[in-house]
Structure 1
């Protein structure tokens, strides 16, 4: 958060080329392509029109326009600092950002891969007025105990969403899947007994319309997720069927696993609608 008219952000991506997206509050500012191993200093100019218009419409995203948001993608980042040329620099205060923080854990579908920063998670967060911590892990999301313990130990979120299973079907038996996902749910519920936790079954994919061993695995994994919610009968554990979110199969890209741009938009709308209905029962959020 700064009122500086010019600021410089020093960053480096050591391993791969990648894009950096910059926002002023909820407003897109600029996109920058970084080359692997080359340090860059991004010079950012505060848009002059923001100071000329009424302030209230600029707050619709939940973020004040003076909150500079630098969003990275699927790569490691080395942060070199921010230069504001003598102007104050501080973290945003409560009234300058969405009050409710949303923790999302899932596969590359949730992480968004090449759809940053317009993934269905980020778009749904915008619909709901939430600030999302996207902890999606491309090629992973295996519900390791260490990850489960880490997510459960965090106290910086009020809403959680779990998209589980698609990356586990080639590596886990049914019992291993039941144990790993059950441990994650138990840890989250035990450490955060009053917070809403959403569990999503596997999104429709190529196996949904192609009979194979993976098709059976998807069905069985989904049934295990449903059983987790049913058996725990916890008032704050909520199941959402993946087909209710990705309800248009043509929203996928040609690999028939990852959503395309239209798919992310449609999923965001559907997910936000389902979550909004549930979150209406939590007036403090």
Structure 2
């Protein structure tokens, strides 16, 4: 899932420069009608077995990135958002470079220029987030995205190498809270920056249902250092406590048995409107959270941890007006809190 250019070399044939870039958080490149490649976070073989909403959410490019290194002073990145308008955010390493608004259904070429002042700073001072400043990162949001090429006008182009991106790799599975909204950073991005970790975002907006195919897919991944699982809020309206217990138990059993050496943290449901008087579903949240706690207790594994959601979202004023999704300030605070908790877990478990 953390893919280099060589992983997709056959798919990128005939598309300028794409055989020399890294595709982060991209499990599959799917040919688009006409020209270019869709970036898919989850392969079709898994997507087609998810719930109805999950089938298209899994095909979105939120959290996907193109990454490359070049000394070219001018760069062109050509891409398209076939279905919906959206913004593409560009970073040099961990530093914001630019944001570009794209209109649905048109092919757009981003014109990028090397920032002249970066050469003035000491390289080490720009690497606090784990990314080297020479790494271009083209970051995508919650939409289907087709990439068509990268042009460096004859200058060498290559994917990042070891030491230019964070050494710790974090898989984050969860709901839309973990996925985030278009144009803003979710809490996992804020936490990853503070941990100097490379996050692989597998948030499933409204569709985090722990299907067996998804659980098997997560358990089959090898290139990760630790994993977080934000579970429950998408399942409380669709399944009984018994089914929730079975699905989440299967996922945790697979992860612990197949990766006994890697830290996995289960996060209970974040505080939301369900806890307010008159919601009618408060008991289900409590029940589902108790099920997650019981799994961790049952497995009694030294690498399996429980994180209480109210320790991460510890201020209800961090929510937006729908009283379930955090606003920008809420995501920042959640990222700070989660990074602090995870840092303690990872230090204890020597990751």
TM-score, with length taken from structure 1: 0.97
Contact 1:253 1:259 in 2 (8 A): yes
State the partner residue of 1:125.
Answer: 192
Would you say the 8 A contact 2:87–2:182 is kept in 1?
A: no
Q: Secondary structure at the match of 2:208?
A: coil
Question: What is residue 46 of structure 2 aligned with on the other side?
Answer: none
Alignment of 1:184-223 (within 5 A): 184-223=251-290
Distance 1:53 1:205 in 2: 43
Q: Distance in 2 between matches of 1:31 and 1:210?
A: 42
Q: What is the 5 A alignment of 1:1-285?
A: 1-114=69-182, 116=184, 118-283=185-350, 285=351
Aligned residues: 283
Instruction: Give the conservation status (yes or no) of the 8 Å contact 1:113–1:138.
Output: no
Which stretch shows the higher mean deviation, 87-96 or 200-209? 87-96
Secondary structure, aligned partner of 2:200: strand
Label 1:210 to 1:115 Cα distance change in 2 as closer, same or farther (>3 A).
farther
Q: What are the ranges of 5 or more consecutive residues in structure 2 without an aligned counterpart? A: 1-68
- Asked if the contact 1:8/1:44 (under 8 Å) is kept, the reply is yes
Secondary structure class of the residue paired with 2:249: helix
**Aligned equivalents of 1:155, 1:253: Cα separation in 2:** 36
CA contact (8 A) 1:124 1:268 kept: yes
For residue 2 of structure 1, report the CA deviation from its aligned partner.
1.6
- Superposed CA offset, 1:73-111 (max 9, x none): 111111112111112211211111110100000000000
Gaps of 5+ in 1: none
CA distance in 1, matches of 2:108, 2:230: 35
- As a proportion of its length, which structure holds more strand? 2
Q: State the 1:221 CA deviation.
A: 0.3
Structure 2 contact 80–107 (Cα < 8 Å) conserved: yes
Q: How far does residue 211 in structure 1 lie from its aligned partner after superposition?
A: 4.0
Decide whether the 8 Å contact of 1:252 with 1:263 is kept in 2. yes
Question: How far apart, CA to CA, are the structure 2 residues paired with 1:188 and 1:84?
Answer: 42
- 1:259 offset after TM fit, Å? 0.3
- Contact between 1:111 and 1:135, CA under 8 Å: does it hold in 2? yes
In 2, Cα distance between equivalents of 1:249 and 1:5: 46
Contact 2:174 2:230 in 1 (8 A): yes
